[in-house]
Amino acid sequence: MAGKELFKARRMFVEKATKVLIDQLLDDLLHDRVLNEGQKDSILEKNNTTADKARSLIDMVVKKGDVASRKMIDHLQSRDHLVHSELGLSSGQPALGLSSGQPALGLSSGQPAQPAAEPQKQQEWSTRLIRTREDSWKKKQDDDVYPVAENSKSNRVALIITNMKFTDEKLNRNGAEKDEKNMVELLRALGYEVVKYRNLTGKLIDDAVIEFSKHPKLKEADSVMVVIMSHGKLGAILGVDWKKEISDDEKPDEFPIDNIYKHLGPEKCPALENKPKIIIIQACRGEKEGSVLVRDGANPAVVSDAAGEENIEDDGLRYVIQEKDFIALLSCTPDTVSYRHKADGSFLIQYVVEVLNTFAHKDDIDELFRKVMKRFEDLPFQTKKQMPTKDRCTMTKRFYFVPGL
């Protein structure tokens, strides 16, 4: 029953509800005639703290019964899906029927109740990685798919760099521990050996990527993943010693994102030539809002075009494309911020984990990233401030993780 369900979530609702959320719910419930103007004013005027307002609101609605409680649960889901999820409330359920002879809210007893709208089916997200069926994988293997074999899967390697603690403590990234834990669990489930670093300067991030490019497993691996989580700006990841104001002779503590592509490209890392290189970056790319939570063999030769092709002989030299087989998912569009929950971690990492757990057994990486982006499009209106973007995609084939096979 909706009333009992809402009552069980009472304590956490009082803790989680913000003033903005309470105001929105009051307007919604007033519109639905669950509350009247006097009741709304009483909740706002007789309670000094946000917690008291939240407590008064939920108590008043629960006393009105299951229909009123269901309406509040549904409005809570549409207004703040994170709080709705944290409270463990059901979703997408039609309003419960009333007993015979009892009028629906807002209708006189002489008016026939309108048929309930068909509820939209809610996507259920898996908390564990779903395995790929062997017959399903056989159907996907063709010339347009990057090869995945048992030996290459066993040599997968991933790099994770998470900056949590900064020299300027005001920049500390609360919730980043949850992001790191979730990504490590996901990558290991996908078959990647995880190389993990924490709290690096920009120079040390660069050193870590270079060291990763020399990992002995790369020659046999079918793919690699690089996940970097920190503060950022357009084109750069911030190191832990970054500060807003520096002297003229100081260099900012930053790692240029371009360096990932240089260090893992064919000139510096021939072991990864023609193999998928998947990059995920959780960091701001500016200070604007996008529409809390916190804002958050031998090396192949690369021949210059300056020499005419007619002057080049076949002497072991060959052209390679400097940047190919990459795909990156950045947490937001250029010049904008990305967001992180202080307890649950960033929206991007939460959604990456949920989407890959649920769909990596059947979708390729490009489609998986599209599904992550779609999650942000489905956010309630007031939180539509961030949109991840796929970037520098040079993959010429489809790549499947093939988990569990």
**Is residue 141 domain-shared with residue 212, that is, in the same domain?**
yes
Provide the pLDDT confidence category of residue 123 given band limits of 50, 70 and 90. confident
Indicate the residue among 55, 70, 86 that finishes a domain: 86
Catalytic entry in 75, 215, 231, 361: 231
Looking at residue 318, its pLDDT comes to: 52
**Is residue 260 domain-shared with residue 149, that is, in the same domain?**
yes
146: in domain: yes
Provide the pLDDT confidence category of residue 363 given band limits of 50, 70 and 90. very high
pLDDT surpasses 60 at 299: no
For residues 6-39, one letter each, b for 16 or more C-beta atoms within 10 angstroms of the residue's C-beta and e for the rest, the string is bbebeeebbebbeeebbebbbebbeebebbeeeb
Looking at residue 293, its pLDDT comes to: 42
SS3 letters for 337-353? CCEEECCCEEHHHHHHH
Looking at residue 101, its pLDDT comes to: 34
Query: pLDDT (tens digit, 9 = 90+) per residue, 300-327?
Result: 344 344 344 444 344 444 556 778 999 9
342: in domain: yes
Q: What is the CATH number of the domain that holds 58?
A: 1.10.533.10
**Is residue 258 domain-shared with residue 165, that is, in the same domain?**
yes
Catalytic entry in 284, 332, 341, 361: 284
Provide the pLDDT confidence category of residue 381 given band limits of 50, 70 and 90. very low
Count of the separate structural domains present in the chain: 2
Indicate the residue among 70, 86, 102 that finishes a domain: 86
98: in domain: no
**Is residue 360 domain-shared with residue 289, that is, in the same domain?**
yes
Query: pLDDT (tens digit, 9 = 90+) per residue, 62-83?
Result: 999 888 999 999 888 888 877 8
Model-level pTM?
Answer: 0.66
Provide the pLDDT confidence category of residue 121 given band limits of 50, 70 and 90. low
For residue 251, the enclosing domain spans: 134-391
Looking at residue 93, its pLDDT comes to: 42
Please confirm, yes or no, whether 284 is among the known catalytic residues: yes
Neighbour count for residue 75 (Cβ, 10 Å): 21
**Is residue 369 domain-shared with residue 265, that is, in the same domain?**
yes
184: in domain: yes
108: in domain: no
Distant-in-sequence, close-in-space partners of 351: CB < 8 Å, separation ≥ 6: 372, 375, 376
Provide the pLDDT confidence category of residue 288 given band limits of 50, 70 and 90. low
**Is residue 30 domain-shared with residue 144, that is, in the same domain?**
no
Please confirm, yes or no, whether 31 is among the known catalytic residues: no
397: in domain: no
160: in domain: yes
**Is residue 61 domain-shared with residue 144, that is, in the same domain?**
no
Indicate the residue among 86, 118, 147 that finishes a domain: 86
